[in-house]
Amino acid sequence: VRRPEKGLLGGMMGLPGPLWRDTPWTKAEALAHAPKAPRLRVEWLRAGRVKHVFTHFTLLADIYAARIPAFPNSMVGEDGMVHHAGGAAVALPSLMRKCMVLARSGNVFD
């Protein structure tokens, strides 16, 4: 998703999720912000935690991942998501790249 224009990583591409705050989100609260896949049963599993240091604070992000059998290829869907199409890369800030590496590591699905 494209992040809001104002604030950290303003206007950059990112992963869907809740706003950052000082107190941790519960799993249920966080997953309420997860993308919905119509007609697909999606099981979100915790992939791990990413630590990223900004100039004035450290962000700890719990990453959840889901495996689905297929996803329609598109540049930007109606849900605002930029979907991976044919191996095309999407430019992401380093924090989001860390999250993607963890989510795609496959360890959560073993």
Residue 92 lies in a domain: yes
% of the chain with per-residue pLDDT over 70: 73
Residue 33 lies in a domain: yes
Whether 16 has a pLDDT exceeding 60, the answer reads yes
For residue 104, the enclosing domain spans: 27-109
Give, in degrees to the nearest 5, the angle at Cα 33 between 107 and 40.
Answer: 65
Kindly report the average pLDDT of the chain as a whole number: 79
Kindly indicate the confidence band of residue 7, based on its pLDDT and cuts at 50, 70 and 90.
confident
Q: For 21-69, what is each residue's pLDDT tens digit? A: 999 999 899 888 887 766 767 888 899 999 999 999 999 999 998 877 6
Q: Is the dihedral of CA 60, 64, 17, 33 positive or negative?
A: negative
Cα(75)–Cα(88) distance, integer angstroms: 10
The domain tally of the chain equals 1
Residue 98 lies in a domain: yes
Per-residue pLDDT at 31 = 86
Cα(99)–Cα(63) distance, integer angstroms: 7
Residue 77 lies in a domain: yes
Task: Tell me how far the alpha carbon of residue 105 is from its chain's centroid.
Answer: 14
Contacts for 17-25: CB closer than 8 Å, 24+ residues apart: 17/61, 20/59, 24/60, 24/62, 25/62
